[in-house]
Amino acid sequence: MAHPRKGRLKLNVDGAFKKTSGEVGGGGILQDHDGNMCCAFAKVYHGLNSSLAAEAFALRDSLLICSSRGVSEVLVETDSLNLLHIITGQLPCPWELVYILQDVTAKT
* CA distances (Å), origin 78, targets 20, 58, 70: 24, 10, 21
* Annotation: CATH topology of 9-107: Nucleotidyltransferase; domain 5 (3.30.420)
For the chain, the structural domain boundaries read 9-107
Closest alpha carbon to 87 in 65, 103, 71:
103
Tell me, yes or no, if the pTM score tops 0.85.
Answer: yes
pLDDT tens, position by position, 4-19: 888 889 999 999 999 9
pLDDT tens, position by position, 69-83: 998 889 999 999 999
